[in-house]
Every structure is written in structure tokens, then in C-alpha cells.
Amino acid sequence: MQITEHVHALKIPFKIKGIACAMDRFVYVYLIYGKKIYLIDSGVSTSPALIFDYIRRSERDPADIASIFLTHSHVDHMGGAAFIKKETGCKVIAHEDEKLWIEDIEEQFRSRPIPGFRSLVGKSVEVDVVIKSDQTIVLEENLNLEAIHTPGHTQGSLSYYLKEDKVLCVGDLMPEPKDIIVFQDFNDSVKSLQRLKEKKGVERLLSSWREPEDDDVPQNLLDAGLQYLDQIYETVVKVSGGSSEIEAMELCRRVVEELDLPLIARHIIVARTLTKILKLQKK
Ligand SMILES: [Zn+2]
């Protein structure tokens, strides 16, 4: 689906299998069409076929893919990168804090064994260009992409702003209601959303988990994200009864119930995130 002059959105459906349940999910990959093609994220291991097919249907050549700009290291964003790089010789770009998990998926699995991990990722992939702080990348004449460091969901999460089209891609930074809650740092998530709110001129905001709508107003989406973070915080405080002693999985079970999240969110990774939020109370 074409969003603006240069930006296209491609929805990648996939399934994750938990121990007791499976869940249909999707993730968005964004394509920037210039003389070359630039991807923002590469989706899961099954994405390359869908991406190549989309490119061919729009009468372009997958061999034109020049680079993949990763928002972060999670397997549903980098799972297809190794295959695309092998087929096209494109460059992979990511923040330095994400490099380890992108280049060593076994290390990522040890630290973050999400349900269905193995089916979501192909292989580890080498990062060719490391981003250390905010910078503007000239993709080609009249196509400038700003990489903005927006930690929170992960330490090295990047948002990308295509200046010419006034489009901002935020990856997983925005928490989605009724979805799995994962942030590395709650306060950083708040700060990053607030920072993006101050950015002038943004006309479209694209997230990995949200269907792009023509009438989306970026400021409203960012406000809704901030409000939902507030709601998560308040819920953690409420269901814990103000006690920091509650067991992590019990806290998770109660929050999943209270916020009406999918059952697959009853997971140790979500529990860890919620426990970190609980600890913030003391500060
Ligand atoms: Zn993620």
C-alpha cells in the first residue's frame, strides 16, 4: 500500500506459538522507493518472499534494495534481514546497542526467549553501518532519512523520519492497547514519545503494529501512546496493591486480566517488564 510519494507499507502476517496457545500477528515493513529501494525493518523469516513479491508487483526489482534500516534487534523486525542481504547485497543499518542481538541470534534467544522464536528468525546478520546518535543519512538526491535515537522499547531503538515525505516510522516504540507489553525502560519510553511529540512538521506516523489510516494525526497517536503508558503504570500499581513483593508471574497474570490482554501476554518477558515498572514506584 502506497502511503506517500516514496513510502509504501507492507503488512506481514505471521503466527507465534506459545506453550498453550497460538496467536495470529502481523508486523509492518516500510519500503522507501527512490532510484533505489530502502527498507525500514525486514519482518520475520517468511517476509522476504512477500517483500520481493510486493516490489515486483509494483514493477520494481528486488535487486534495487540498497539498505535495510532496522528499528531494533527483535526477531520480528530483523528475522528476514539475512536472506534479503544475501540475495541483494544490501547494507544493514542499526543502532550500536542493538548490534549484538542482530549479529548473534543465539545470544538474543538466551536473553529473550519469546514464544516461537526459532520460527520468526532466519539467521544472524552482520550490521554494516552502526548508528551511535541522531544523524541524517542522505539516501540519494532529494531523499534524506533522519535516524532518531528513541530508547524505551529497547535501548537502541531508532525511529526514522523521511524528511521529504514528512513521514516518521517509530517501530515498536508506541505501546498498542490489547497487545503484549514490552519495554526495556518505561521512563525512556515516556521520554522518547514526548521528544517525538516536539518534532515539528511530521504529517504521518507509522508504527510496526498499527494499521496506517489516512486520517491519522501524529500528535494524537503520540498522546494516545503516552496515555496508555500511564494506564499501564496505574494498573501495575493497582493490582499490586502498592506492594513490591508480589511475584512477577502473578503480577503479570493480574495485569493481563485487568487490561484484557491476549493470554500469550502471560509470559516471563512481560512479567519482567511489569516488575520493572513496579520498582519505579519507590523512586
Ligand atoms: Zn520489538
C-alpha to C-alpha distances, 146 to 30, 49, 81, 139, 226, nearest whole angstrom: 15, 28, 21, 10, 23
**d(CA 101, ligand 1 centre) in Å:** 12
| Amino acid 164: pLDDT | 97
Strand duo 143-149 + 135-140: pairing:
antiparallel
Summarize the confidence of residues 84-96 as an average pLDDT.
98
**Which is more confidently placed, 280 or 240?**
240
Residue 147 three-state SS: strand
**d(CA 14, ligand 1 centre) in Å:** 15
**d(CA 111, ligand 1 centre) in Å:** 14
| Amino acid 283: pLDDT | 46
Residue 1 three-state SS: coil
Q: 20 falls in which pLDDT band (50, 70, 90)? A: low
**d(CA 105, ligand 1 centre) in Å:** 14
**d(CA 5, ligand 1 centre) in Å:** 27
**d(CA 172, ligand 1 centre) in Å:** 5
Summarize the confidence of residues 260-271 as an average pLDDT.
85
Residue 281 pLDDT > 70, yes or no?
no
Identify residues whose C-beta is under 5 A from ligand 1, the ion: 74, 172
**d(CA 253, ligand 1 centre) in Å:** 21
**d(CA 263, ligand 1 centre) in Å:** 18
- List pLDDT tens digits, range 48-82: 999 999 999 999 999 999 999 999 999 999 999 99
Alpha-carbon distance of 224 to 140, in angstroms, equals 34
Summarize the confidence of residues 212-234 as an average pLDDT.
91
| Amino acid 50: pLDDT | 97
**d(CA 142, ligand 1 centre) in Å:** 30
Alpha-carbon distance of 95 to 93, in angstroms, equals 7
- List pLDDT tens digits, range 111-129: 887 777 888 888 999 999 9
- List pLDDT tens digits, range 189-210: 999 999 999 999 999 999 998 8
- List pLDDT tens digits, range 140-197: 999 999 999 999 999 999 999 999 999 999 999 998 888 778 888 899 999 999 999 9
Tell me how far apart the terminal alpha carbons of the chain are, to the nearest angstrom. Answer: 45
Whether 132 contacts 160, CB under 8 Å: no
Strand duo 204-206 + 22-33: pairing:
unpaired
**d(CA 120, ligand 1 centre) in Å:** 12
**d(CA 72, ligand 1 centre) in Å:** 7
